[in-house]
Amino acid sequence: MTAIAGRDPRGQGPGDDGSARPSAAGFPALLEDNLEDLYENAPCGSLSTLLDGTIAKINGTLLAWLGYSREELVGRRRFSDLLTGGGRIYHETHFAPMLAMQGEIGGVSLELRAKNGSRMPVLVTSVVKAGSEGQPPLIRTAIFDARMRRAYEQELLNARRAAEREDERLRQLISKLQRSLLPAVLQTPPGLDSAAYYRMASTDEVGGDFYDLFPLDDDRWGFFLGDVSGKGVEAAAVTALARYTLRAAAVYNPDPATALRSLNTVLWQEYREDARYCTVVFGILTPTPATGGFTAVIASGGHPEPLLLRADGSVHYQQTKGRIVGAFSTSQYTNTTVVANPGDTLLLYSDGLTEARPASSETADGRYGTAALARFAAQLAPTNAADAITAVTDLLGTFGAGLTDDTAVMAISAPARP
């Protein structure tokens, strides 16, 4: 518009250098002075409708694409009538509501249906023009031929679908591998309760945490919860080795310190070149039906200390000592005994929990920390295995993106006296 209404302040005529070149203002006006033609034969379809979609004005380009005459459309048909069935639903359920909310919408991919039934992929942009004196509000729509672009997008779409299929296959594989490293169903010693939860930090990689609870003989059960350094397939191999070494060692000699020493030897021999090691708490549990509780002899190899949540509401960390398993050629481990009475709960966890970075943390390094965990546990106690795991699961949920590592938790409790 300005090209027509504007006036060159220097006046029309020859340029400053005296040549006969048209002025800046006159130049475009001379070449494109027929606005009607510009509208009618623009390189894009143009359409104005009432708010209910009734066609008020349509340009020649769009009529030519559709094969309709102006009389067949203006005042008689709505924009959505020009779309394919699927496009009509998309228009009603997405396009129109967004246009109503935002007043404009751009670059939506739809298909026109021409009078002869042929289809034409288009990109549609609409703007609501507010009403003015005696003029109702209108929707102005520009429609671009997207046949070539659609063909290109189809290629992209096919590539994306192929990538998604591969991705899904990978996830399935990882999830299966992960499950194979954890007990399918957690067994529970007679007269006691148990529960566990595993949270993968990423669906793209196998995590390195592991746990199990399994019967050894009529009165004794083995249990462990550990964390292998690193992630991915290499870590999974170490996890499998650690898991089966511990299970076998427990059968051979049900002494936790000895089992960890065996695991240390195996990991050191197998992986010292690759610096693969793990932290783990290993225990042998004996239910004590006479008291309604259990006794657990445990040993730890550099793993976060287990928490005991007592029936009287008190909470303390069970002190353990022992070096990371697999990091040194020889390491000594020490047994310690936990006596659990009715209403007591033993909670094992991996450092994914204490090393998480919650949105608000009181520690200097932004980690959740063992002090916060103890306070959290104090609010739970007295509790039981199932409730404790549910509470920790919810707690992990509140960490959101602050949960950067895999986390395993397992609880064993003696039922409270009625």
Partner 1 sequence: MRVRNRNNVVLAGREDGPTVVLAHGFGCDQHMWRHVAAEIGQWAQVVLFDHVGSGKADPAAWDADRYASLDGYADDVLAICDDLDLRQPVFVGHSVSSSIGVLAANREPDRFSALVLVTPSPCYIDDGNYRGGFTRDDIDELLESLDSNYLGWSSNMAPLIMGNPERPELGEELTASFCRTDPAMAQVFARATFLSDNRADLAAVSVPTLILQCAQDAIAPPEVGAFVHAQIAGSRLVTLDATGHCPQLSAPEATAAEITSFIRAAYR
Site for partner 1, rule CB under 8 A: 51-54, 78, 80-81, 84-94, 96-98, 100-104, 107-111, 150, 153, 156-157
- Beta carbon of residue 183, minimum distance to partner 1 (angstroms, whole number): 24
Q: Of the two residues 111 and 234, which places its CB atom closer to partner 1 in the complex?
A: 111
In angstroms, give the least distance from the CB of 353 to partner 1: 19
CB of 115 to partner 1, least distance (A): 18
Q: What's the token pair of residue 402? A: 């602050």
Contact between 21 and 15 (Cβ < 8 Å): yes
Contact 141, 46 (CB under 8 A): yes
Nearer of residues 98 and 416 to partner 1, judged by Cβ: 98
If the CB atoms of residues 37 and 81 are measured against partner 1, the closer one turns out to be 81
Compute the least distance from the CB of residue 164 to partner 1, in Å: 9
Residue closer to partner 1 by CB (options 87, 369) is 87
Structure-block tokens of residue 356: 């998480």
Q: Which is nearer to partner 1, 53 or 183 (CB)?
A: 53
Q: Give the number of residues written for the chain.
A: 418
The 3-state DSSP class for residue 122 equals strand
Q: How far are the Cα atoms of 81, 103, 190, 249 from residue 100, in angstroms, in the given order?
A: 19, 6, 64, 69
- 96 or 263: whose CB is closer to partner 1? 96
Classify the C-alpha dihedral 234-354-323-412 as positive or negative: negative
- Residue partners of 119: CB distance under 8 A and separation at least 6: 84, 111, 112, 113
User: Between residues 80 and 258, which has the closer beta carbon with respect to partner 1?
Assistant: 80
| CB 298, CB 336: distance < 8 Å | yes
CA distance 10 to 220: 103
Give min distance, CB of 127 to partner 1, in A.
11
Q: Are 391 and 413 in contact (CB under 8 A)?
A: no
- Partners of 131 in beta bridges: none
- Find the shortest distance in angstroms from Cβ 176 to partner 1: 18
- State in angstroms the smallest separation of the CB of 156 from partner 1: 7
Question: Based on CB atoms, which residue is closest to partner 1, 80 or 265?
Answer: 80
Tokens of 104: 């404009």
Smallest distance from the beta carbon of 85 to partner 1, in angstroms?
A: 3
Tokens of 194: 């148990």
What letter does residue 80 receive in the DSSP assignment?
G
DSSP state of 48: E
Q: How far is the CB of 406 from partner 1 (least distance, A)?
A: 17
Distance set, CA 114 to CA 58, 62, 84, 234 (Å): 14, 10, 9, 59
Contact in structure between 259 and 217 (CB atoms under 8 Å): no
Looking at the Cβ atoms of 99 and 308, the one nearer to partner 1 is 99
